[in-house]
Amino acid sequence: MELQQIDAKMLSKMFLAGAKNLESKKEWINELNVFPVPDGDTGTNMTMTIMSAAREVAALQEDAPMSVLCKAISSGSLRGARGNSGVILSQLFRGFTRSIKEEEILTVPVLATSFERAVETAYKAVMKPKEGTILTVAKGVAEKARELADEGTEDLEVFGTAILEHARYVLEQTPELLPVLKQAGVVDSGGTGLVEVLSGAFDAYMGKEIDLTVAPAQTANKTVAPSPEAQAEAEIKFGYCTEFIILLSKTFNIKAEMDFKAYLESIGDSIVVVADDDVVKVHVHTNDPGLAIQKALKYGALSNMKIDNMRLEHQEKLFKMSEKEAAAKAAEAPAQAASVEPPKEVGFISVSAGEGLSEIFKSLGVDYIIEGGQTMNPSTADVLDAVEKVNAKNIFILPNNKNIILAANQAAELCKDKNLIVIPTKTIPQGITAVINYVPEISIDENKENMIAEMGNVKTGQVTYAVRDTMIDDKEIQKDDFMGIGDSGLLAVGKEMQDVTLEMVSAMANEDSELISIYYGADVEEENAKWISDKLKKDFPSCDVELQYGGQPIYYYVVSVE
């Protein structure tokens, strides 16, 4: 018997299976990064994007209609989107769900149209779409779907098999469209992630047994007065306060630490991970402590374990509260409301990773710092949460990373009660230059134009290490080599960090350069950074050379030339 339709129940199962399949492959996808840097995060970004939606889908009633399911997929992925690949994935879901939300069943013609709508929406979200990426794979899927629909294909098993086969074929062709992929010997990581989502979804449709367990979404707000139990549920998104110590039995480097944090963020909040020699202190609020424990066991044995049910504790506190205390709180509320300051005209948000860099931004007048950057790209929801914390009518946001700009733009579209202005800074030095050039006396639009123009005068270089052997820009790179990466590609590579740093700066500076700013990272000794600074002063006597502590992870030096 032919399989000819997909209802909401089946689509929900397929979506969750796609999400779980992507999650299981995220580390492999991370390793497909063109630059062999230790912060390859496409798999992590796409996983955290789709799992944000998966939690909302998993929390729905089993008989939820198509319209409700579509809203959960679209809103969950939009708010959870992080990184360029994650934002594009969320836009694909957005276009797809808009096309099918009024349908009760999905047939081949309906799916063909929805795939086309998904691609159209995703391409519109990217200012300069680039072929050889996730967009190319999505477009190939849509074109194949339309071809099959026009040929009269009705059997969804035949349709799905052909779609998946073609998606893999297009993915294999991405190195022919992007030379950097071909030289690095990899296919596109974002496209790979999309193929894994489709593969998992088709497996579910074909009846493969898949664990679809996902941590539940946040309890929805209700208009009726809540009971103490319901109030505890509404206020506490993740119910178990989980603490333990990992006695390390394997390497727990910065990459491992960031991956572990990313995983904990996908299952909870209030996360603290502190690594010290052979032990790691862990704290997380989650609805499934077992998931955190299972992940931690991969790094070593556990001790000092402590799990508290915060919902029960909250209920006890509520019941113990006397009427007098409740009345006192009620009396305080109007006074607190009256004391709220009116919003100021302009505020600033900056993304930053590193104690020193964050302090620099704060000293320049930035109101709120979103922790993140190369290793952990903030989500659209993270940006919107930051906006809520800044009491201003107009808020400039500095993403300071090309992989965060799309999420910031998406937040600006979703932000209704404040004017969020995205200054598309791709590096920390660009962000610093942008905020320095803000002029209170001129308009918002004039400031935006001026800040963008000034950040264009900044060249940025960053020094890190290679995690694998590869070839980039005709330069051979071996695992553990130091690399100096500029705005447009690889500038230097070698065995000695200081030599690579100096060679990188030499490639950036010229006779018109006036200022060289050096921000040294968490893993660099101050005396070594001072040596670099002194050497550059001798090599470029006509330039001012400034040295500051950045404290950033992964990148030993971030250097700007203006």
CA 282 from chain centre, in angstroms, equals 22
Torsion of CA 295, 301, 302, 303, to 10 degrees: -170
Cα gap 325→228, rounded to integer Å: 15
Does a structural domain hold residue 217? no
Cα gap 365→349, rounded to integer Å: 10
CA 183 from chain centre, in angstroms, equals 26
Three-class SS state of 468: coil
Question: Is 412 found in the same domain as 530?
Answer: no
Beta strands in 314-469 (DSSP E): 344-352, 368-371, 392-398, 419-422, 459-465
Of 405, 425, 455, which one is at a domain's C-terminal end? 455
Encode 23-46 in three state secondary structure.
Answer: HHCHHHHHCCCCCCCCCCCHHHHH
Does a structural domain hold residue 332? no
Does a structural domain hold residue 322? no
Q: Which residue has the tokens 């929900």?
A: 12
Question: Is 387 found in the same domain as 248?
Answer: no
Does a structural domain hold residue 234? yes
Question: Is 42 found in the same domain as 181?
Answer: yes
Three-class SS state of 106: strand
Question: Is 133 found in the same domain as 52?
Answer: yes
Q: Is 293 exposed, middle or buried (0-12, 13-18, 19+ CB in 10 A)?
A: middle
Does a structural domain hold residue 335? no
Question: Is 155 found in the same domain as 117?
Answer: yes
pLDDT score recorded for residue 320: 52
What's the CATH code of the domain at 177?
1.25.40.340
pLDDT score recorded for residue 226: 37
CA 321 from chain centre, in angstroms, equals 41
pLDDT score recorded for residue 236: 58
What's the CATH code of the domain at 440?
3.40.50.510
Q: How many domains does the chain have?
A: 4
Does a structural domain hold residue 93? yes
DSSP lists the bridge partners of residue 245 as 281, 303
Q: Could you say which residues of the chain have pLDDT below 50?
A: 1-2, 217-234, 318, 321-322, 337-338
Query: Any idea what the Cα angle at residue 549 is, between residues 543 and 550, rounded to 5°?
Result: 105
Total residues found in the chain within this entry: 562
Question: Is 299 found in the same domain as 160?
Answer: no
Question: Is 372 found in the same domain as 294?
Answer: no
What's the CATH code of the domain at 469?
3.30.1180.10
Question: Is 135 found in the same domain as 52?
Answer: yes
CA 319 from chain centre, in angstroms, equals 40
Question: Is 294 found in the same domain as 238?
Answer: yes
Question: Is 463 found in the same domain as 442?
Answer: no
Nearest to 266 by CA among 243, 247, 288, 246: 288
Question: Is 195 found in the same domain as 274?
Answer: no
Cα gap 387→43, rounded to integer Å: 27
Of 150, 171, 205, which one is at a domain's C-terminal end? 205
Token readout for 93 is 């879901």
Token readout for 376 is 């952990």
Question: Is 474 found in the same domain as 448?
Answer: no
Sign of CA dihedral 414, 420, 426, 431: negative
Residue 253 sits in which domain range?
A: 228-313
Does a structural domain hold residue 326? no
Of 405, 422, 455, which one is at a domain's C-terminal end? 455
The residues near 453 (Cβ < 8 Å, ≥ 6 apart) are none
Does a structural domain hold residue 337? no
pLDDT score recorded for residue 277: 62
The model's pLDDT over 74-87, given as tens digits with 9 standing for 90+, comes to 989 988 888 888 98
